[in-house]
């Protein structure tokens, strides 16, 4: 495939800026002339001159016909999609468009229990009914893995009438499902495969990483281009195969996106594509090599261990999870020390781990500094970390998220909630996998599990869980 050295959106912006047009249009700073000093410090003078939109030659994100259309076509080709839509509202909107654009009210869709909140929002918009899939769990590291092939097989047999399967792959910790095998199962059952690939925009560019969703046969995949590649925060792409109604997906994307997209954000997507097309394989392979070096150095530090082998799943090596339990620290305590004393910031911390993202921007020097900081973490007396076992059964909601969203709710004592329909999410952290989702019927077994659980409660209006929100009886 020949490389394309152009960035169509950037070229159009430069041309407009250089044309000497006197602007009587938005934005109010008029190509930087009225910009406050603070804004001038944030953006270059040239950047402010090019921070315009809605001019015909700059194209229209909602009806692309020139530079945006060309940029999206180039992105689709590079990421093995039939079409691509640029998003400036974040991958949240891309995920919502993926669901709302392919599912209708009453459609059954299988989703992992630990799906991002954008998935639930997409279900509210579409009216689809979720089937909750159990997520495998690593007890040693206290973190979620992914949905297994066997679980998908069981779910398809149990709910053959389902319209779609949605995966989160790779997840935040880099654990990827076997998307290729699941794709075969899903399509053989006449369903479509949707993938929240927010953490996988880089997978296409290194054969040592899990296969990308598009290459594995997914029908749609939402990617956060900004997370591990070089576009600006809140920019994303939705990859689409023509196996779905592309025009409907585009219509829904237009409903969900701002009518005033920032041209600089769009240009950053164009530039990120160009950067990956020119030397993406070299850059991502270098990041993988650095991550391997980092893992080797961490294993030499007493009290630390890295999350490496994942049975039945593949792992994105650029996500380096470091377990600090051997130091007698929680992940949150280690993060505080690193951030405020050693001036190193991780991507996230949980009860037992720190997560570090190694990208094409890293060097041997940044890796060395991280290793030096980890060596300085203190040792403290061991701590017991409690983790709530995640649900292992495949289950279907009693009410759809849309029906639950609009239903009247009331607060009742937890012990009296058996048989009622939950109106909120109940999650213990760790492991961060919801025990109850909005629309699920509350069972006596779940109540008992909640009573025995430890850890921080997320999503509940009453963090003590003495009470719970339920749908008012009809």
Residue 2 has what pLDDT?
67
Task: Mark out the alpha helices in 53-116 (DSSP H runs).
Answer: 67-78, 90-100
In this prediction, residues 178-193 reach a mean pLDDT of 98
Residue 235 has what pLDDT?
97
The fold of the 395-471 domain, in CATH, is Ornithine Decarboxylase; Chain A, domain 4 (3.90.100)
Question: For residue 9, what is the DSSP state?
Answer: H
Phi (first) and psi of residue 452, to 5 degrees: -90, -5
In this prediction, residues 394-423 reach a mean pLDDT of 96
| CA distances from residue 416 to 129, 176, 419, 468 in whole angstroms, order as listed | 26, 39, 9, 9
In this prediction, residues 208-219 reach a mean pLDDT of 98
Phi (first) and psi of residue 465, to 5 degrees: 60, 30
**What SS3 state is found at 179?**
helix
Q: Is the pLDDT of residue 384 over 60?
A: yes
What is the rounded average pLDDT for all residues in the chain? 94
Percentage of the residues of the chain whose pLDDT score is greater than 70: 99
* pLDDT tens profile 220-264: 999 999 999 999 999 999 999 999 999 999 999 999 999 999 999
Percentage of the residues of the chain whose pLDDT score is greater than 90: 82
Sheet containing 305-306: order of strands = 305-306, 319-323, 353-357, 348-349
Lowest mean pLDDT among 54-58, 73-77, 337-341: 54-58
* Separation of alpha carbons 195 and 223, rounded Å: 9
User: How crowded is the C-beta side of 68, counted as CA atoms within 13 Å?
Assistant: 24
Residue 387 has what pLDDT?
78
Q: Is the pLDDT of residue 328 over 90?
A: yes
Question: Taking the mean position of all CA atoms in its chain, how far away is CA 416?
Answer: 36
| Residue indicated by tokens 């049975």 | 311
| Residue indicated by tokens 């029908």 | 219
Q: Which residue has the higher pLDDT, 127 or 39?
A: 127
Q: Radius of gyration over alpha carbons of the chain, in Å?
A: 24
On whether the CB atoms of residues 124 and 115 are closer than 8 A, the answer is: no
Residue 229 has what pLDDT?
96
* pLDDT tens profile 88-143: 999 999 999 999 999 999 999 999 999 999 999 999 999 999 999 999 999 899 89
* Separation of alpha carbons 165 and 41, rounded Å: 46
User: For the chain, which residues make up each domain, given as ranges?
Assistant: 280-375, 395-471
On whether the CB atoms of residues 110 and 157 are closer than 8 A, the answer is: no
In this prediction, residues 15-23 reach a mean pLDDT of 87
Tell me the whole-structure pTM to 2 decimals: 0.94
The fold of the 280-375 domain, in CATH, is 3.90.1150
* pLDDT tens profile 441-473: 999 999 988 888 877 888 899 989 999 999 997
DSSP for 422-456?
Answer: B-S-BEEETT---SB-TTPBPPHHHHHHHHH--SE
Q: Is the pLDDT of residue 381 over 70?
A: yes
Residue 454 has what pLDDT?
76
* Separation of alpha carbons 125 and 145, rounded Å: 28
DSSP for 343-384?
Answer: ----SEE-SSEEEEE--TT--HHHHHHHHHHHHTPPP-----
The DSSP H or E segment spanning 215 is: helix 213-216
In this prediction, residues 303-319 reach a mean pLDDT of 95
Q: Is the pLDDT of residue 474 over 60?
A: no
Q: Is the pLDDT of residue 1 over 70?
A: no
Q: Which residue has the higher pLDDT, 51 or 357?
A: 357
Phi (first) and psi of residue 149, to 5 degrees: -60, -40
């Amino acid at each position: 495939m020949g490389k394309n050295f152009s960035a169509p959106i950037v070229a159009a912006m430069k041309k407009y800026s250089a044309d000497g047009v006197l602007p009587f249009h938005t934005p109010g700073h008029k190509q930087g002339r009225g910009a406050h000093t603070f804004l001038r410090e944030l953006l270059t003078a040239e950047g402010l001159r090019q921070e315009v939109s809605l001019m015909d030659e700059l194209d229209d994100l909602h009806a692309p016909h020139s530079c945006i259309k060309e940029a999206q076509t180039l992105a689709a080709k590079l990421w093995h999609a039939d079409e691509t839509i640029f998003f400036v509202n974040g991958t949240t909107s891309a995920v919502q468009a993926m669901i709302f654009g392919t599912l209708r009210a009453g459609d059954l869709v299988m989703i992992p229990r630990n799906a991002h909140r954008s998935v639930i929002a997409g279900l509210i918009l579409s009216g689809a009914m979720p089937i909750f899939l159990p997520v495998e769990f690593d007890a040693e590291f206290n973190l979620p893995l992914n949905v297994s092939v066997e679980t998908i097989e069981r779910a398809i047999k149990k709910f053959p009438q389902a319209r779609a399967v949605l995966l989160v792959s790779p997840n935040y910790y880099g654990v990827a499902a076997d998307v290729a095998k699941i794709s075969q199962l899903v399509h053989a059952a006449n369903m479509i495969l949707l993938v929240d690939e927010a953490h996988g925009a880089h997978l296409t560019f290194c054969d040592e990483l899990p296969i990308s969703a598009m290459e594995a046969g997914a029908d749609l995949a939402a990617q956060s281009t900004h997370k591990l590649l070089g576009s600006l925060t809140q920019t994303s792409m939705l990859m689409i195969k023509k196996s779905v109604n592309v025009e409907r997906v585009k219509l829904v994307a237009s409903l969900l996106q701002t009518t005033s997209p920032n041209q600089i954000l769009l240009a950053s997507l164009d530039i990120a594509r160009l950067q990956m097309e020119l030397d993406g394989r070299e850059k991502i392979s270098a990041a993988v090599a650095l991550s391997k070096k980092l893992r080797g150095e961490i294993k030499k530090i007493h009290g630390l261990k890295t999350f490496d082998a994942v049975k039945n799943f593949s792992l994105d090596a650029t996500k380096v999870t470091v377990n600090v339990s051997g130091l007698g620290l929680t992940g949150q305590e280690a993060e505080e020390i690193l951030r405020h004393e050693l001036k190193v910031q991780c991507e996230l911390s949980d009860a037992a781990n720190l997560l570090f993202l190694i990208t094409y921007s890293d060097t041997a020097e940044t890796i060395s500094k991280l290793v030096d900081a980890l060596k300085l973490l203190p040792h403290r007396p061991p701590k017991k970390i409690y983790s709530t076992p995640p649900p292992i059964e495949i289950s279907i909601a009693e009410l759809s998220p849309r029906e639950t969203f609009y239903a009247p709710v009331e607060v009742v004592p937890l012990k009296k909630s058996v048989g009622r329909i939950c109106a909120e999410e109940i999650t213990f952290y760790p492991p961060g996998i919801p025990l109850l989702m909005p629309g699920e019927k509350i069972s006596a077994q779940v109540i008992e599990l909640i009573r025995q659980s430890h850890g921080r409660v997320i999503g509940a209006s009453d963090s003590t869980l003495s009470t719970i929100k339920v749908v008012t009886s009809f």
